[in-house]
Amino acid sequence: MKDMELSHLRRFSAPIWAVLIGTLLTRASFFMVWPYMAVMLHRNFGLSEIEIGTIMSLAALGGAIVALYVGYLSDKLGRKNLLIISCLAHVATFVILAEADQSWLYAAGALMAGISRAMLEPPARAMISDLLPDIPVREMAHQVRYYCINLGAAFGPLLGLQLGFTGVQSSFYLVALGYLIYCACFIIAFWQIRNTPQPPKNSQNFGETLQVLAKDKAFMILILANTLVMYAYLHQETSLVQYLNALGDRVVDLYTQMITVNASVIVLLQFPLLKLLSSWSLYRRVYLGVTLFAVAFIMYAMFPLDSPDWYWLAATFVLSIGEVVLFPTFNLLIDRAAPDHLRGAYFGAGNLTSIGVSLSPLAGGIILSWYGGPALFLSTAFVLMIAGYLYSCSSRQQQQQIQEAEAT
């Protein structure tokens, strides 16, 4: 198995390595700074929690909307230019954030960050699939990319803390530098494959492309299910912390341990679990991941607030296993669903799950205020059960569409 994985890695071309190395570099630098965005907004401009939350939600929502059109453009015009432009847009975004001296500039910079990310993600993921026609190699590349994202997300905040970047506005320059290097990697890689045949272009206009997406019922149900999962998952990052704030000073130490457990599981267990589940179908992996998510939130609901730390860490461990199984599978399901000439549009539509991300903090705050933590976590487990049912509907619909296509 190890020799097979190494042979897969050797088949990665220069642009694939540019995506992987650039992803690790930019995610690490991004997470050195971005988690402290709320600190900067509160400290520098005195914004309230609601105002800060609104800015962050708008950034996620704006990115979700733009990603759909950018994915279409990447099918229409090609991936290369869009990837370079998106990297330069990131550079401009973080220079603005480093220099911003008014709250509206910060808000504009946050929105630009969401849009810039939406410009980068769908073309980058689609390009991986374009350049790797062999499905096992392609899936390995998507798995490695997700691993790079998690490495950056796991160690970026810790590194930023050690380097003293907590709430320091000028640290945004570091993120800008990371994306500038990412841009240079793309330019060099694209020069090396300048004579490589390109994938087929999308000859349809944007409206016609949307109609194709809308008619793919299995895919639309899949996106809805993914959105519900992202809504649920974000409660672990936002609403759970608010609930644990009632513990007083203990919450900082406890949540730091929870982050450590989550990062350790992702870094250490992603590829062993990939080997273990390699014979499973993608939808079977999804069912396992959703079930583990639901079990974790039920555990959160059942624990008294003053439970020992290891109770909360055990639930976080279960949720982290579910994350390792579930999230890489999202990209693989979208990749399997997308026609060759519409990969960008399909991956762009996949970013609509950010709607769930943007709604989660608001809904979590309301349910926490009105009904309390246990009600929030049990309702989240119920949402995950609905998501699991939608995945089964998507699987059945996909089989039906395949049979109809074969009959035609």
pTM to 2 decimals?
A: 0.80
Burial class (CB in 10 A: 0-12, 13-18, 19+), 106: buried
CB 293 within 8 A of CB 230: no
Which of the listed ranges 15-29, 135-149, 334-348, 382-396 does the model predict with the highest average pLDDT? Answer: 382-396
pLDDT in tens, 36-70: 666 667 667 777 656 766 777 777 777 777 887 88
Per-residue pLDDT band for 198 (boundaries 50, 70, 90) equals low
Q: Answer for the pair 143, 335: CB distance below 8 angstroms, yes or no.
A: no
The DSSP secondary structure of 108-175, one letter per residue, reads HHHHHHHHHHHHHHHHHHHHHHHH--SHHHHHHHHHHHHHHHHHHHHHHHHHHHHTT-TT-GGGHHHH
Torsion of CA 251, 256, 258, 263, to 10 degrees: 160
Q: How far is CA 44 from CA 105, 106, 245, in A?
A: 12, 10, 23
Q: According to the model, what pLDDT value does residue 296 have?
A: 94
Q: What is the mean pLDDT of the chain?
A: 81
Torsion over CA of 116, 121, 126 and 128, rounded to 10 degrees?
Answer: 120
Q: What is the mean pLDDT of residues 304-321?
A: 88
* Residue 197: partners with Cβ closer than 8 Å, 6 or more residues away: none
Q: Position of tokens 């199984």?
A: 325
353-389, pLDDT tens digit by residue?
Answer: 878 877 787 788 778 778 888 888 999 999 999 999 9
Query: What is the C-alpha separation between 163 and 158, in angstroms, rounded?
Result: 9
Closest CA to 206 of 390, 70, 32, 82: 70
Considering the chain, what percentage of its residues have pLDDT values greater than 70?
Answer: 88
Q: What is the distance between the alpha carbons of residues 88 and 193, in angstroms, rounded to a whole number?
A: 21
Tell me what the mean pLDDT of segment 398-403 comes to. 82
Report d(CA 159, CA 139) in Å as an integer: 30
- Alpha carbons 42 and 115: distance in angstroms, whole number: 23
CATH number of the domain located at residue range(s) 202-408 in this protein: 1.20.1250.20
Question: Longest Cα pair distance anywhere in the chain, in angstroms?
Answer: 65
- 140/9 Cα distance (integer angstroms): 8
Q: Which pair of tokens denotes residue 345?
A: 């549009």
| Tokens encoding 210 | 């949307």
Task: Look at residue 271 in the predicted model and tell me its pLDDT.
Answer: 82
The answer to whether residues 157 and 237 touch, using CB atoms and an 8 Å cutoff, is no
Question: Going by C-beta distance under 8 Å and a sequence separation of 6 or more, which residues neighbour residue 96?
Answer: 105, 108, 109, 112
**Cα separation of 264 and 251, whole Å?**
20
Report whether pLDDT(346) > 80.
yes
> Cα Rg for the chain, rounded, in angstroms?
21
Q: What token pair was written down for 54?
A: 């609104």
* pLDDT of the residue at 18: 85
Cβ(186)–Cβ(15) under 8 Å?
yes
Q: Which CATH architecture has domain 1-193?
A: Up-down Bundle (1.20)
Domains 1-193 and 202-408 share a fold: yes
- Rounded to whole angstroms, how far apart are CA atoms 121 and 123? 6
Q: What is the pLDDT of residues 93-137, one digit of tens each?
A: 889 888 887 878 878 887 888 788 878 888 888 888 888 888 888
Who has greater pLDDT, 242 or 197? 242
Domain spans in the chain, listed from the N-terminal domain onward: 1-193, 202-408
- The predicted structure's pLDDT at residue 1: 45
pLDDT higher than threshold 70 for residue 2: no
Closest CA to 326 of 291, 286, 292, 294: 286
Which candidate, 276, 295, 298, places its Cα nearest to that of 285?
A: 276
DSSP annotation of 84: H
Exposure of 369 by Cβ count < 10 A (0-12 exposed, 13-18 middle, 19+ buried)? exposed
Residue 160's CB is within 10 A of a number of other CB atoms, namely 24
- Which residues are within 8 A (CB) of 394 and not within 5 positions of it... i.e. 6 or more apart? 218, 219, 221, 222, 225, 283
